[in-house]
Structure 1
Amino acid sequence: MLRSQFRYATRSFWRTPVAAFFTLVFPVSFVVVVCAIAGNATISDRSGVRFAQFLVPVFAVFGACMAAFVSLALGVAYAREAGVLKRLRSTPLPPWVHLAGRVASAVYVSLLAFAVVTVVGVVAYDVDIVWRTLPAVVLTFVVGVACFAALGLALVSIAPTPAATQALANGCLILLAFISDVFVVQLPQWLAQVGWFFPLKHFVNAVADGFNPFLADNGPAWGHLAVMLAWGTAGALVALRFFTWEPHPSREHRSRRGAISTGAVPTRSAPAPVPVPVTLGPATDVGAPSWWRLAWGQTRFTAVKLLRDPLAVFFAIVFPVLLLVFFSAVYGREATWGGLPLPQYLAPALAVYGVAVMAYVSLPSTLADDRSRLVLKRLRGTPLPSSAYLAGRIGAAALLGAATVVAVFAVGAVLFGVRVGPAAVVVTAFAFAAVIACLTALGLLLASLIESPESVTAVALVTLLPLSMVSDIFVNSPGLPTVMSAIGWTFPLRHMAALTVAASSGQGLGTAWWGHLGVIALWGLAAAAVAWRTFRWEPRS
Structure 2
Amino acid sequence: MTTTATTGTADGTAEAARALPGAWTLGLGRGALEIKQFVRQRDAMIFTFAFPVVFLALFASIFSGSVENTGVTASQLYAAGMVAAGIMSTSFQSLGISIAVERDEKVLRRLRGTPMPPAAYFLGKVWMVLATGLAETAVLLFVGSALFDLDLPSSAVRWLTFGWIFALGLTGCALLGIAISSLPRSGKSASSVVVLPFLILQFISGVFIPVNAIPDWLLNIGALFPLKWMCQGLRGVFLPESAAVLEQAGSWEYGKVALVLGAWVIGGLVLCLLTFRWKNGRDG
Q: Aligned residue for 2:153?
A: 420
Q: Distance in 2 between matches of 1:325 and 1:385?
A: 43
Is the counterpart of residue 299 in structure 1 residue 40 in structure 2? no
5+ long unaligned stretches in structure 1: 1-282
For 1:373 and 1:331, the matched residues in 2 are separated by: 43
Q: Summarize the Cα distance change of 1:390–1:304 in structure 2 as closer, same or farther, 3 Å threshold.
A: same
User: Counterpart of 2:279 in 1: which secondary structure?
Assistant: coil
Aligned to 2:4: none
Distance 1:389 1:502, change over 3 A: same
Q: 1:440 to 1:422 in 2, by over 3 A?
A: same
Give the Cα–Cα distance (whole angstroms) in 2 for the partners of residues 452 and 326 of structure 1.
33
1:397 equivalenced with 2:129 (yes/no): yes
Normalized against structure 1, the TM-score is what? 0.44
CA apart distance, 1:475: 1.0
- Letter of the structure 2 residue corresponding to residue 521 of structure 1: G
Q: Which of 457, 469, 472 is residue 191 of structure 2 equivalent to?
A: 457
| Structure 2 segments unaligned to the other structure (5+ residues) | 1-14, 245-250
Mapped partners of 1:525, 1:499: distance in 2: 19
Aligned to 1:517: 258
Residues 307 and 313, structure 1, Cα contact 8 Å, conserved in 2: yes
Give the 3-state SS of the residue equivalent to 1:452 in structure 2: coil
Q: 5 Å matches for 1:307-346?
A: 307-332=39-64, 334-336=65-67, 339=70, 340-346=72-78
Larger Rg: 1
Check the 8 A contact 1:369/1:453 in 2, yes or no.
yes
Whole-Å separation in 1 of the counterparts to 2:208 and 2:163: 23
Q: Which amino acid aligns with 2:206?
A: D
How does 1:279-298 map onto structure 2 within 5 Å? 287-298=19-30
Indicate yes or no: 2:276 matched with 1:535: yes
Structure 1 residue 345 displacement after superposition: 2.5
- CA, structure 1 residues 506+437, in 2 after alignment: closer, same or farther (shift >3 Å)? farther
Question: CA 1:331–1:448 in structure 2 vs 1: closer, same or farther (change >3 Å)?
Answer: closer
Q: Taking structure 1 as reference, are residues 308 and 352 closer, same or farther at Cα in structure 2, changes over 3 Å only?
A: farther
Check conservation: 1:315, 1:354, Cα contact below 8 A. Answer: no
- Cα distance, 1:373–1:363 mapped onto 2, change above 3 Å: same
CA 490–308 in structure 1, closer or farther in 2 if over 3 Å, else same: same
1:504 to 229, 238, 241: 238
Question: Once the two structures are superposed, what CA deviation does each residue of 1:159-187 show, in whole Å capped at 9, x if it has no partner?
Answer: xxxxxxxxxxxxxxxxxxxxxxxxxxxxx
For residues 84 and 68 of structure 2, the distance between their equivalents in structure 1, rounded to whole angstroms, comes to 16
Instruction: Give the match for residue 445 of structure 1.
Output: 179
Distance 2:77 2:143 in 1: 14
Aligned amino acid, residue 352 of structure 1: A
Residue 115 of structure 2 is matched in structure 1 by 383
CA gap 1:415/1:489 in 2 versus in 1, 3 angstroms: same
Which of the numbers 98, 106, 110 marks the counterpart of 1:366? Answer: 98
CA contact (8 A) 1:492 1:520 kept: yes
Look up the SS of the partner of 1:453 in the other structure. Answer: coil
Q: Distance in 1 between matches of 2:85 and 2:69?
A: 17
Note the 1:149-168 alignment, pairs <5 A.
none
RMSD between aligned residues: 2.7
> Identity of paired residues, percent?
25
Rounded to whole Å, the distance in 2 between the matches of 1:368 and 1:414 is: 37
> Distance between the aligned counterparts of 2:190 and 2:113, measured in 1?
26
